[in-house]
Amino acid sequence: MTDLQPPTAPELEDSLAECFTAEPSVARARELHASYRRLMREQFLQALGAAAEGLDLDLSPLSHRIEGISPNQRLSPAAYVALTMLTEALRSGDVTRVGDRLQAIWIMPESELRDSAFRIQPVLTEAWETPFIDSVRNDPIEGLSEDARIVRPLLAHDPGPEISACEAALGLLEEIDPELSDEFREYVSRVKLFAGRGYLGFSSPAAFGAIFMRLSDTDPVAHFLEHLVHELSHLHLNVLMAHDPLLRNPAATGSAPLRPDQRPLYQILHATFVLGRNLRVTRRVVERHPELGYERALREFEEKFLEGFRTLQEQAEFTEPGRRLFQSLDALRDGAPALR
């Protein structure tokens, strides 16, 4: 699961046109990520300007701080959560809530804002997670009951075996798909482990750079490999959609590969892109390590990917960057060799 609502896309720069492909590249990811941080900084300054005007306050110290963010410098998920919470407070019109969010930004240490060091750790071990996890727990999700939206801390549970399994999954990804592994390192600074029900994993532009993963009851390495690739792919597509909407008819509905009901095409695009990335990785695992027994998963990914691909082929009205992205998925549909 991921938050699929992309921010409003600006006019696409010519230099980013070649980035609209399903083929991973750390150089393209780095360029997109820098542009995404530039957009985030602009949105943060706009939010602070709206708060200053609405509350008749001098927020120039905060604005100067945000102006100091370099697009070439990685940020902590804390920075994105701070922007999201302030934006939501402004939309609510609640003056007290806006003040609380401004105070949280004011006292946030610079080290927390810029802490992009990668780590795998239990959920709710950093201050920025609390408001984000509260929003995940409380925001209604169509088709998912409140009882199935449970995210709990690990408390006394020893996360050591799960951390080792996650590291093993990332090591396998680096071996079989170094390009996608490099993309992971460019975008992701946190993997957060939780207990619960419903969610197997989730990510969001609201906490960009973080992936949240539920503990697995089955093969933990296979679980982490599938869902880390899944959420990484959502993050990458959200970055693309921050620069171009990809679809001219995103609200039109069609048959979805991961849901029994009709879904909006932008959600089907997300699902198909994610399935394509999982198909790419699983195909490579089967070719390189047949002893791991991923054949069944490969067949399932192929079937679901083709379902989503056909829906988009028949119904989607793509923008030009969207068309290029969709065409790049053709190699996966045609079963192109995964190993070169």
Q: What is the pLDDT of residue 218?
A: 87
Question: What pLDDT score was predicted for residue 336?
Answer: 43
- Cα separations in angstroms, 13 against 20, 35, 190, 246, 306: 12, 10, 29, 14, 31
Tell me the C-alpha distance between 133 and 140, whole Å: 13
Report which of 36, 30, 31, 115 is spatially closest to residue 77, judged by C-alpha positions: 115
Which amino acid would we find at residue 154?
L
Which residue from 42, 65, 38, 2 is spatially nearest to 227, judged by alpha carbons? 2
Phi, psi angles (nearest 5°) of residue 92? -70, -25
pLDDT digits (tens, 9 = 90+) for 96-117: 999 999 999 999 999 999 999 9
Spatial neighbors of 203 by CB under 8 A, at least 6 apart, are 2, 3, 210, 211, 212, 231, 234, 235
User: Which parts of the chain sit beneath pLDDT 70?
Assistant: 1-12, 14, 140-148, 334-340
